Structure 1
Amino acid sequence: KNHTTWIKNNQSHLYQLLVQSLKKQRLSHAYLIVGQKDLLEIVNWIASLIQIQSDDENQLNEQVNRIMNSETIDVQILDGSKESIKKESIIQLQHQFSQSAKEVTGQKVAILHHVENASSQALNALLKSIEEPSGDHTTYLLTTNNMSMVLPTIISRCVILETQESHQQELISSYEKMGISHLSAYSLSTLTSNETLAKELLETLDLEKLSDLVLDFIEEIQHNIDLGCVHFQLNHPNDRDAIKIVFQMMAYQFKINHLNELREITLNTLSKINRSVSVALLVDEFAANVKENLS
Structure 2
Amino acid sequence: MVKFAERLEAQQPVVYQTLKHALVQKKLAHAFLFVGQKGTPRLETALLLAQSLICQHVHDGFACEECSDCQRIAEANYADLILLDGASKSIKKDEILSLQERFNKTGLERSGQKVYILNNAENTTPEALNSLLKFLEEPQGSDTLAILIVENQDRILPTIVSRCQTLTFRPLTQRQIHQIALEEQLDETDGYLLSHLIRDVDQIKQTAEDEAYQNGMLMMRRFIREFPLREEEVLVWMQTEYLGSKDKEKDKRTFGYFIDCLLQFLRDAAVGHTEGPAWMAEEIVKWNQRPLRLDQLIIVLLECRDKLSRSYNLPLLADQLIYQMKEGMKDE
Q: What's the TM-score once normalised by structure 2's chain length?
A: 0.48
SS in 1 for 2:64: helix
Q: For 1:102-141, what aligned pairs fall within 5 Å after superposition? A: 102-135=108-141, 137-141=143-147
Q: Does 1:51 align with 2:54?
A: yes
Q: 1:128 and 1:142 mapped to 2: Cα distance?
A: 15
Of residues 41, 44, 49, the one that matches 1:41 is 44
Checking the alignment, whether the CA contact within 8 Å between 1:22 and 1:53 is kept in structure 2 is no
Which letter does structure 2 place at the counterpart of 1:115? A
Q: For 1:1-295, what aligned pairs fall within 5 Å after superposition? A: 1=1, 2-36=3-37, 37=39, 38-52=41-55, 55-56=58-59, 59-62=64-67, 63-135=69-141, 137-167=143-173
TM superposition shift of 1:78: 0.4
TM superposition shift of 1:168: 7.3
Task: Give CA-to-partner distance per residue, 1:145-179, whole Å, 9 cap, x none.
Answer: 111222211111110001132227999xxxxxxxx
Q: What's the TM-score once normalised by structure 1's chain length?
A: 0.53
Checking the alignment, whether the CA contact within 8 Å between 1:86 and 1:118 is kept in structure 2 is yes
Mark the runs of 5 or more structure 2 residues left unpaired by the alignment: 178-198, 201-332
Task: Give CA-to-partner distance per residue, 1:180-234, whole Å, 9 cap, x none.
Answer: xxxxxxxxxxxxx79xxxxxxxxxxxxxxxxxxxxxxxxxxxxxxxxxxxxxxxx
Mark the runs of 5 or more structure 1 residues left unpaired by the alignment: 172-192, 195-295
Q: 1:103 and 1:145 mapped to 2: Cα distance?
A: 31
Larger displacement relative to structure 2 (130-139 or 146-155): 130-139
Checking the alignment, whether the CA contact within 8 Å between 1:51 and 1:108 is kept in structure 2 is no
Checking the alignment, whether the CA contact within 8 Å between 2:63 and 2:70 is kept in structure 1 is no
Checking the alignment, whether the CA contact within 8 Å between 1:85 and 1:122 is kept in structure 2 is yes
- Paired residues, number: 174
Which letter does structure 2 place at the counterpart of 1:11? Q
Checking the alignment, whether the CA contact within 8 Å between 2:91 and 2:121 is kept in structure 1 is yes
SS in 2 for 1:135: coil
TM superposition shift of 1:19: 1.6
Q: 1:159 and 1:55 mapped to 2: Cα distance?
A: 23
Q: 2:97 and 2:138 mapped to 1: Cα distance?
A: 15
Which letter does structure 2 place at the counterpart of 1:51? I
Instruction: Name the larger-Rg structure.
Output: 2
SS in 1 for 2:166: strand
Q: 1:108 and 1:53 mapped to 2: Cα distance?
A: 15
SS in 2 for 1:111: strand
Q: 1:112 and 1:90 mapped to 2: Cα distance?
A: 10
TM superposition shift of 1:104: 3.4
Task: Give CA-to-partner distance per residue, 1:70-101, whole Å, 9 cap, x none.
Answer: 32111110001121000100111122222321
Q: 2:63 and 2:27 mapped to 1: Cα distance?
A: 23
Q: 1:125 and 1:54 mapped to 2: Cα distance?
A: 36
Checking the alignment, whether the CA contact within 8 Å between 2:85 and 2:120 is kept in structure 1 is yes
Aligned-pair identity (%): 35
Moved segments of 4+, more than 4 Å? 168-171
Checking the alignment, whether the CA contact within 8 Å between 2:83 and 2:118 is kept in structure 1 is yes
Distance 1:61 1:128, change over 3 A: farther
Q: 1:5 and 1:73 mapped to 2: Cα distance?
A: 27
